Structure 1
């Protein structure tokens, strides 16, 4: 999906799949980060969450992490702490305001896809679902200033989302990876003239070894070039 608000134009490959809801996986960190900033749980890119000492398979998660480090390493326990601090009522309210997919947080603790409790959540192959079309709508609502989130918090989020900058255009985004051949890369491309929002979603269980958020990101960057 590619959406240009200034032209009110959508472009897509595979229209049926673009309207099909799926788990957002770690692309949900965009919204959980905003919830954390909005509710003063984190204040800027240096905000640290305390590591509990568990030796995780991903060594980058083994320590006290800043918001920027946690976002860029896609650290689940960090954002689990944010979501738990936000709480169910506030999370549901903010998701409804954003019209974030099905807004279903009923599996708050997740579906046990990971062996550690703090590495599970409703956004990881559980109750929350969103389509590529809804992803670009939510991103546009946030970054075009049409949500409850203030400009300062959005600018902090943009800092950690920056993926590529060639001087004339910047690409901001977040990957997401499932275990059954599902992957995402969502975000926006910004120039002096406009922003365009994108969502790349992959789903092919026959190629699950090759498909990841990094694969989706590579595809997106080639398209955006």
Structure 2
């Protein structure tokens, strides 16, 4: 018997045993709420869908003007920016910014931290050889280091790291860091790709802030190494760190770009999440982010991809 049928059986039995006076005195609101609860339960063997959690949005400023960059790219999504000094969030599509979504390759940030901390890989330059299995992209068919694998988002490399780490140690660090919903079921080398791990754009930023401030449960050396391999661009004016993600096993497909921009004494954290309907849409992840940062005067002219 499923959890749902057990719950309904218990609920109906409890109502049947109530004194008539209690039933007669029950408020209409309570009755309506109970009926609504029963009607909204699914007894098809799965739990009700989890809605976005209520978040404290004090200090959040909606920026509908950011939406034009999504519209120009022909995609739907959300963009959340956090100004650390001002402690202010700027957001387009706040509901989606608080919705938990599978992290796909953005999890490589955390996977790198755990792998280095546990010593399953010596450092960011140790080579792991390809086993010769044909891969989705040509550059994935080569031997890889952590540095090259995070830059090329090489899945097999990080699956190997996760297998070396193991379920128990991975879960321990996930819990210590309070990563997303902390659910790594679905296979030690699949949970962030097709399994049950979920994280919201807001939680992505929370994690990145802790990484920047060296407040994650890892050594200073480990965090410094991961920060260094996350650099996407470095100029005299700013340093841009980030990691993309592409979940092609979903409909619509999932697109991510998360990271942070250091400019002088200011740090801006960002998380973009969007739908991908065709491979060409993947370019919009970084392009939209850079367009928004550029519109705010935070990023210089240059490549949009």
TM-score (norm 2): 0.66
Equivalent residue number for residue 234 of structure 2: 165
Q: In the alignment, is the contact (CA less than 8 A) between 1:32 and 1:82 conserved in 2?
A: yes
Rounded Cα–Cα distance in structure 1 between residues aligned with 2:260 and 2:253: 24
Q: Between Structure 1 and Structure 2, whose CA radius of gyration is higher?
A: 2
SS at match of 2:194: coil
Report how far residue 7 of structure 1 moved: 2.0
| Structural mapping, 1:45-56, within 5 Å | 45-56=124-135
Q: In the alignment, is the contact (CA less than 8 A) between 2:256 and 2:271 conserved in 1?
A: yes
Equivalent residue number for residue 44 of structure 1: 123
- Over residues 61-99 of structure 1, what are the superposed CA-to-partner deviations in whole Å (9 max), with x where a residue is unaligned? 112211111111111110011111111111111111222
Equivalent residue number for residue 114 of structure 1: none
SS at match of 1:37: helix
Query: Is 1:2 aligned with 2:81?
Result: yes
Equivalent residue number for residue 192 of structure 1: 264
| Structural mapping, 1:1-225, within 5 Å | 1-109=80-188, 121-179=190-248, 180-203=252-275, 207-212=277-282, 214-225=283-294
Q: What's the RMSD between the two structures over aligned residues?
A: 1.5
Rounded Cα–Cα distance in structure 2 between residues aligned with 1:209 and 1:189: 26
SS at match of 2:281: coil
Misfit runs of 4+, over 6 Å:
none
Pick which of 120-129 and 193-202 moved more. Answer: 120-129
SS at match of 2:274: strand
Pick which of 48-57 and 13-22 moved more. Answer: 48-57
Rounded Cα–Cα distance in structure 2 between residues aligned with 1:47 and 1:10: 38
Pick which of 97-106 and 2-11 moved more. Answer: 2-11
Where structure 2 has 5 or more consecutive residues not aligned to the other structure, the ranges are 1-79, 295-305
- Over residues 25-49 of structure 1, what are the superposed CA-to-partner deviations in whole Å (9 max), with x where a residue is unaligned? 1000000011111111223321111
Q: In the alignment, is the contact (CA less than 8 A) between 1:181 and 1:211 conserved in 2?
A: no
**How many aligned residue pairs are there?**
212
Report how far residue 221 of structure 1 moved: 1.3
Report how far residue 216 of structure 1 moved: 0.8
SS at match of 1:49: coil
SS at match of 2:210: helix
- Name the structure, 1 or 2, with higher relative contact order (CA <8 Å, separation 6+): 1
Q: In the alignment, is the contact (CA less than 8 A) between 1:188 and 1:196 conserved in 2?
A: yes
